[in-house]
């Protein structure tokens, strides 16, 4: 295959890649008003898999539902749109793919893939007790904030 044909074939393949769909509806099947603005704390008071992860917030907006993962210090947020195909390839936040949704009226289950890394995070929010769990399928070797889980970038000062 020539370079141009190989590039075109690769671009076509990449354009059709998709995260396997996790079970869940794109909106709560009931009690949507209870979910909008709902804040969650780690189950058991601590998120062992990502210690800086201290909260989760679900919100409804004009473009649909979002799950925000809140990390301390500084209350940094990683905002993840739900039910929109979930792919976010831009510069900020890190490129992610999101799948999942509401498995019942009290449970939101979301799978987050950090596309430039091998890391996958599963987050489950329980409306009944206002807690969440977060577990890595592939845990990072370092405790970096979620917003930094991406391929290394060249510094503008490095000259190239």
pLDDT in tens, 53-103: 999 999 998 888 999 999 997 888 999 998 755 555 545 678 888 988 999
Number of domains in the chain: 1
Give the model's pLDDT for residue 85.
Answer: 54
Domain membership of residue 97 (yes or no) is yes
Average pLDDT over residues 113-117: 90
Q: What is the DSSP string of 83-133?
A: SS--EE-SSSS--EEEEEEEEETTEEEEEEEETTSS-EEEEEEETTTTEEE
Average pLDDT over residues 95-119: 92
Domain membership of residue 42 (yes or no) is yes
pLDDT tier at 159, thresholds 50, 70, 90: low
Residue 126's domain spans which residues? Answer: 34-141
CA–CA gap between residue 121 and residue 132 (Å, rounded): 13
What residues pair up with 64 in beta bridges, in sequence order? 61
Domain membership of residue 4 (yes or no) is no
Domain membership of residue 27 (yes or no) is no
Determine if the pTM surpasses 0.75. Answer: yes
Q: Could you tell me if 121 and 50 are in contact, meaning their C-beta atoms sit under 8 angstroms apart?
A: yes
47: domain CATH number is 2.40.128
């Amino acid at each position: 295959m020539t370079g141009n044909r190989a590039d075109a074939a690769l671009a076509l393949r990449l354009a059709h890649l998709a995260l396997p769909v996790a079970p869940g509806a794109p909106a709560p099947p009931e009690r949507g008003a209870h979910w909008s603005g709902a804040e969650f704390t780690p189950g058991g008071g601590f998120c062992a898999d990502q210690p800086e992860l201290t909260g989760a917030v679900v919100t409804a907006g004009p473009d649909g539902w979002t799950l925000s993962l809140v990390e301390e210090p500084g209350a940094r947020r990683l905002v993840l749109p739900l039910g929109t195909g979930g792919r976010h390839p831009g510069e900020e936040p890190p490129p992610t793919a999101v799948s999942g949704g509401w498995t019942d009226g009290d449970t939101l289950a979301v799978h987050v893939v950090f596309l430039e890394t091998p890391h996958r995070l599963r987050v489950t929010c329980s409306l009944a007790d206002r807690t969440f769990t977060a577990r890595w399928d592939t845990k990072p070797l370092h405790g970096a904030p979620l917003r930094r889980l991406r391929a290394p970038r060249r510094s503008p000062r490095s000259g190239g």
